[in-house]
Amino acid sequence: MRFGNALYGLLGRLVAAQYGALGFVRGVHARRSLAAGEITTGRSDIDLTVVIDPPSDLAEESRRLLALARRTTAIRRVLPVVGPPEVATAEELQDWYRQPAFPATLERDRGWLRLWGEPFERPEGAGSPVEERLRNLPWLFWAWLRLPEHFRRGRLRTCCNLLIDMVDVRDLCRGRPAGPRRRGEILAQWSEIAPAERDTLARAMGGWKPRDAGALLRRVHALGLRVVDSLADHVPSLTGTWSTDQIETRPPFEYGRRLWLLVDPQDSRAVTAALDRVEREPEVRVATRRGLAVQMQHRNPWEYFTIVDPGARERMVPPSAAALVSAVRYYQHRIVPRRLGFAVGTGVDRSRTLGAQIAQALLWLDEGFVAADHEQLVARWRRRHGEWPWRPVSSRDAFFTREYGIACEGMDLVADALTHTHRGR
C-alpha cells in the first residue's frame, strides 16, 4: 500500500500540474482513496476537486470548462484511473460543503490532500447534528444502488468498498461522532461482524479474490441489505405498508424499469432467491420494506410517484415536501451539471438525465406536478414551456458547448422559483 500511495501521489501531482497550466485553476486537491492513504495499485481511482477562478459571465465559464474537459479527455487517455473531477470556485465549494441540501461532506471525501496550487480548507457543515447526518444518506444510497451492477460483474473489491461506505453512513445515523474515517477504521469498528469475516473483507478490499468469490459477493450484498434495513431505526421514512412482495417503478431520471423484490433480511432462503434474480436480471433490485421506505424519502423521492401499481403507491404516504425541496435545492448548484459533463463517455455517464432533473424541479415548483415517466414529463413541459430544449450529447466538448449553458439557465429559474414562490414549501 505504501508503494501504491507514493505512486498515485506522484501521478496525482503530475495530473494536477496539467490542470494548473490552464491559467485559471487556483488549486487541485485529491479526495477519497489517495487523500486517505488507502490506494490499491491498479484498482483505485484518483478523485480530484479542481478549484477555479470565478468567471466573469456564463460565456467565459463555458469556455473554461470546455478547456478543462479537453484536458481531462487527454489525461484520461493516458491515465484512465483519473476520475471525472469536481470543479468549483472557492465560494461555490464553501456552499457545497456547508448547505444541508448538498451531499458534500467530510465523511464522503474520507480525506483531503492538496496536490497543486493554493490551499483550500473545507468548512464543516452548517446544519444541525441531525441534518449533518442525514445529508450523508444520498451517498449511502448511491453506493447501495451501484452494488447490484458490480455484484453481477463479479467485482468483489468494489462491492466491499461500497458496503464499507454504507456502514460508515449508517453508523453516523446511529450517532457516531462526525468526521471522516478510513475504510480500515470503519471495518475494524463494525461490531456486528465476526473477526473471521472482518479479516475476509479486509483481504478482499485489498484486492484478494477467494476461490469461492461468488459466495462472498452474496454475503456482501446480504450484509448491505441489513445495513439499509437498519436505517429505519434511526432516520425518518415513508409511512404506511407495502402490501406486496414486488414493487415496480420507473425511477427518475432515466425512467427505466426497476423491479424491487421485498424480503425479510433474516430470511436466508428469500434473500438467496432474490439475489439469484438480481444476478440474472439487470432491472431487478432487492430491498426490505423498511429500507425502501427510507430510500424513497432520502435518495430519490421522485421515484415514489413512478410506482406502477396505484394500490401499492396509495398505501404509503408520499415523500414529505421537505424531501422534495431538498431534492430541488440539489439542482441549484453548478457543480452538479459540471460533474455530469466531465463524466460524459465514462462508465458513470448520466448526462442524459440532466434536462429531466431540471424540468421536474421547475414543474413541481410551478404546478406541484411530478411525472410518472419520461414521456409524461416531456409532454407537460411542452404544454407549459414549448420546445424540449435538451438533447443527447456524445462528448464533453458538445456538453460544455451547448447543454451546460441551457442547464445553467434552467437552474437559475429553479433558484428564482424556489426563493420567491415556494420559500416556505
Instruction: Name the domain boundary from 94, 127, 160.
Output: 127
Examine the domain organization and report whether 196 and 338 are in the same domain: no
Block residue for cell numbers 424519502: 297
First to last CA, the chain: 50
Determine if the peptide bond prior to 253 is cis (ω within 30°): yes
Q: How many CA atoms lie within 13 A of 24 on its CB side?
A: 17
Full residue range of the structural domain in which residue 236 is found:
132-319
Examine the domain organization and report whether 257 and 334 are in the same domain: no
Examine the domain organization and report whether 19 and 113 are in the same domain: yes
| Tens of pLDDT, residue by residue, the chain (425 residues) | 688 889 999 999 999 999 999 999 999 999 999 999 998 888 889 999 999 999 999 999 999 999 999 999 999 999 999 999 999 999 999 999 998 777 789 999 999 999 999 999 999 888 888 888 889 999 999 999 999 999 999 999 999 999 999 999 999 999 999 999 999 999 999 989 999 999 999 999 988 889 899 999 999 999 999 999 999 999 999 999 888 999 999 999 999 999 999 999 999 999 999 999 999 999 999 999 999 999 999 999 999 999 999 999 999 999 999 999 989 988 778 999 999 999 998 888 999 999 999 999 999 999 999 999 999 999 999 999 999 999 989 899 999 999 999 999 999 999 899 887 554 44
Question: Around Cβ 191, how many Cβ atoms within 10 Å?
Answer: 5
Count, residues in the chain: 425
Examine the domain organization and report whether 110 and 244 are in the same domain: no
Residue 357 lies in a domain: yes
Residue 391 lies in a domain: yes
Examine the domain organization and report whether 112 and 152 are in the same domain: no
Q: How many CA atoms lie within 13 A of 45 on its CB side?
A: 16
Residue 91 lies in a domain: yes
Residue 197 lies in a domain: yes
Q: For helices 156-174 and 137-152, give the axis angle rounded to 10 degrees.
A: 160
Please give the radius of gyration of the chain, using alpha carbons only, rounded to the nearest integer.
21
Examine the domain organization and report whether 109 and 142 are in the same domain: no
Residue 425 lies in a domain: no
Distance between CA atoms of 197 and 177, rounded to whole angstroms?
Answer: 25
- The CA distances from residue 415 to 93, 330, 333, 410, in Å, are 18, 10, 9, 9
Give the domain CATH number at 47: 3.30.460
Instruction: Name the domain boundary from 96, 112, 127.
Output: 127
Examine the domain organization and report whether 155 and 198 are in the same domain: yes
Strand order in the sheet with 112-117: 86-89, 47-52, 25-31, 112-117
pLDDT at position 421 is 57
Task: Read off the DSSP letter of residue 100.
Answer: T
Examine the domain organization and report whether 150 and 284 are in the same domain: yes
pLDDT at position 1 is 65
Residue 278 lies in a domain: yes
Residue 107 lies in a domain: yes
Examine the domain organization and report whether 123 and 148 are in the same domain: no
What's the domain count of the chain?
A: 3
Examine the domain organization and report whether 254 and 384 are in the same domain: no
Instruction: Name the domain boundary from 276, 300, 319.
Output: 319
Q: With the C-alpha atoms ordered 377, 378, 383, 387, is the resulting torsion angle positive or negative?
A: positive
Examine the domain organization and report whether 347 and 415 are in the same domain: yes
Examine the domain organization and report whether 384 and 284 are in the same domain: no
Cβ distance 342 to 72 under 8 Å? Answer: yes
Residue 64 lies in a domain: yes
